[in-house]
C-alpha cells in the first residue's frame, strides 16, 4: 500500500485548557500519513491524479489557524475528519504534537488512525 505524507507541518493556533493558553497562540506540529494508491499518478504524471499534499496542507493550515480547541485530541480528530471527508482518503495516521509543552520534553501530543466507513 502507498502513502502520501506530510511531516512537521507547523501551525500557530489557540490550544490548551489553561487561561494563559487561551490568550496566546501556540505552535502545533502535524505529521500525517494518508493511504493513497500512487499507481495512476505515477503512470500519467498528472497532478490531477494525485493526492495533492499542498492542497491538504493549505486546508489544514486554514482550519488550524482559525481553531480554538482546548484539547489536542479534539483538534487531531477534526483534522483527520477533514482529510478523510474532503480529500477522499480511505485511511489516515495523524500525529499532533505541542512542541515544548512539557519541560524536559521536545513535544507531547497524540497519534490517531482513522478510516472512512
Cell of 112: 490517531
Rounded-to-integer distance, Cα 44 and Cα 39, Å: 9
- For residue 14, give the nearest of 69, 79, 96 by alpha carbon: 69
Helix (H) or strand (E) holding 3: strand 3-15
For 26-45, give one letter per residue: b (16+ CB within 10 A) or e. Answer: eebbbbbbbbbeeeebeeee
d(Cα 27, Cα 42) in Å, to the nearest integer? 35
Q: Tell me which residues are annotated as active site.
A: 98
Amino acid at each position: 500500500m502507498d502513502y502520501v505524507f506530510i511531516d512537521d507541518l507547523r501551525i500557530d493556533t489557540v490550544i490548551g485548557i489553561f487561561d494563559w493558553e487561551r490568550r496566546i497562540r501556540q505552535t502545533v506540529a502535524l505529521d500525517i500519513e494518508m493511504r493513497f494508491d500512487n499507481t495512476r499518478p505515477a503512470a500519467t504524471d498528472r497532478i490531477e491524479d494525485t493526492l495533492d499534499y499542498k492542497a491538504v496542507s493549505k486546508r489544514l493550515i486554514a482550519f488550524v489557524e482559525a481553531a480554538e480547541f482546548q484539547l489536542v485530541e479534539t483538534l487531531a480528530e477534526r483534522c483527520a475528519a477533514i482529510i478523510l471527508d474532503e480529500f477522499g482518503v480511505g485511511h489516515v495516521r495523524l500525529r499532533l504534537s505541542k512542541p515544548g509543552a512539557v519541560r524536559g520534553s521536545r513535544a507531547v501530543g497524540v497519534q490517531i488512525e482513522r478510516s472512512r466507513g
